[in-house]
Amino acid sequence: MTRWHDPHVPGLVLVVEDEPAIADLVRLYLRKDGFGVHVVHDGTAGLDAVRRLSPVAVVLDVGLPGIDGVEICRRMRAAHDWTPVLFVTARDDEVDRILGLEMGADDYVTKPFSPRELVARVRTVLRRAGGVPVLDEVLRVGDVEVLVDQRRVRVGGAEVALTATEFALLTHLVRAPGRVHTRDQLLAAVWGYTASSGARTVDVHVAQLRAKLGDASPIRTVRGVGYAADVP
């Protein structure tokens, strides 16, 4: 299930955060940016709100009482719900970040964070998720077909479900087949920021893409540099 989002209409953001002061701050800044906001404070209520409210994005604390944030994201993706998810984590632990990304999260911020940065990250994942499909551009590399404006991917005619970030990464690579992109270039183009700690983020998403595309994956690793989409 993909929820198409019109970028001109902010929509409702679900915030799942058990610390009231942080939740109130996030709500304030998202509302100032024009979003509707619904806040819940535990994992069970969060999972229910995802299903009941159909938000355009979810700001999801990792360390929640009851069902934790990683499990909520895992259940969403298992149900083919590709709503953009931005994790909020209490510690800058690479293992935790990688686990979250492997469960299908689109981005993350680490506490303490700038509320303005969090709003900017929400905007970025929504831009990657895109707007209403208009049936236009199609990119093909081997058996992989990317219907850009429909935001759909097919492998050998069979549809493959990708997160918004995975779709944006694949599209960016196949738009320039054969070109080698550094990890910093991919971070800037797809995630909208660069940071040395973000290189592993790129690697995790590439691994997820390869797993979903299987033997048809056109993505090649260029050791010590980055990645390219090869033409067969």
Write the CATH number for 215: 1.10.10.10
Which residue range(s) make up the domain with 143? 138-229
Q: Are 188 and 141 in contact (CB under 8 A)?
A: no
What is the rounded CA–CA span in Å between residue 43 and residue 126? 23
Q: What is the pLDDT of residue 124?
A: 86
Looking at the structure, tell me whether residues 21 and 108 fall in a common domain: yes
Do 157 and 116 fall into the same domain? no
pTM, entire model:
0.68
Q: How many independent structural domains does the chain possess?
A: 2
Is there a contact between 152 and 25 (Cβ–Cβ < 8 Å)?
Answer: no
111 and 156, same domain (yes or no): no
Instruction: Give yes or no: residues 149 and 124 share one domain.
Output: no
Give the closest residue to 65 by CA, choosing from 16, 14, 18: 18
Final residue of a structural domain among 103, 129, 155 = 129
The answer as to whether 125 is a domain residue is yes
Residue that terminates a domain, selected from 129, 149, 170: 129
Task: Evaluate if residue 211 carries a pLDDT over 90.
Answer: yes
Q: What whole-number distance in Å separates Cα of residue 156 and Cα of residue 140? A: 11
Give the pLDDT confidence of 111-156 residue by residue, as tens digits: 888 999 999 999 888 887 765 444 468 899 999 999 987 889 999 9
- Kindly state whether residues 106 and 209 are assigned to the same domain: no
Please tell me the predicted confidence (pLDDT) of residue 2: 47
> Are 149 and 117 in the same domain?
no
In terms of residues, how long is the chain?
232
Same domain, 72 and 142: no
Mean of the pLDDT values across residues 154-168?
91
Question: Which token pair is 190?
Answer: 């797809």
Residue 76: closest CA among 97, 56, 100, 104: 104
pLDDT confidence bin for 8, thresholds 50/70/90: very low
* Average pLDDT across the chain, whole number: 85
Quick check: is 186 in a domain?
yes
Same domain, 113 and 61: yes
